[in-house]
Amino acid sequence: MFEGLFQPMHLLVIFFIALLVFGPKKLPELGKGLGEGIRALKDGMKNAPEEAKTQSTNQDNQNKS
């Protein structure tokens, strides 16, 4: 379904449209914000199993009391 979606020419067209819409001064700020958001999402996904394990341990301890 998405075969060939991100070919180099498609990416150039997307970048050009983004440049026209947001302008050259805003594009680096948007990229930085997007990068920080992706980084936060990855960190949250890494921490989620640890937090779930801690919460289940706390619930087990409360149920035993």
Task: Give the model's pLDDT for residue 27.
Answer: 85
Q: Which of 37, 12, 38, 16 is nearest to 27 (CA)?
A: 16
Task: Give the model's pLDDT for residue 49.
Answer: 75
pLDDT in tens, 9-59: 888 898 899 889 988 888 889 889 989 999 999 988 888 777 767 766 766
CB 30 within 8 A of CB 22: yes
CB 27 within 8 A of CB 19: yes
Choice between 53 and 65, residue whose per-residue pLDDT is larger: 53
Q: Check: pTM over 0.75? Answer yes or no.
A: no
Task: Give the model's pLDDT for residue 14.
Answer: 87
- Rounded Cα–Cα distance for residues 10 and 16 (Å): 10
- For residue 65, pLDDT beyond 60: no
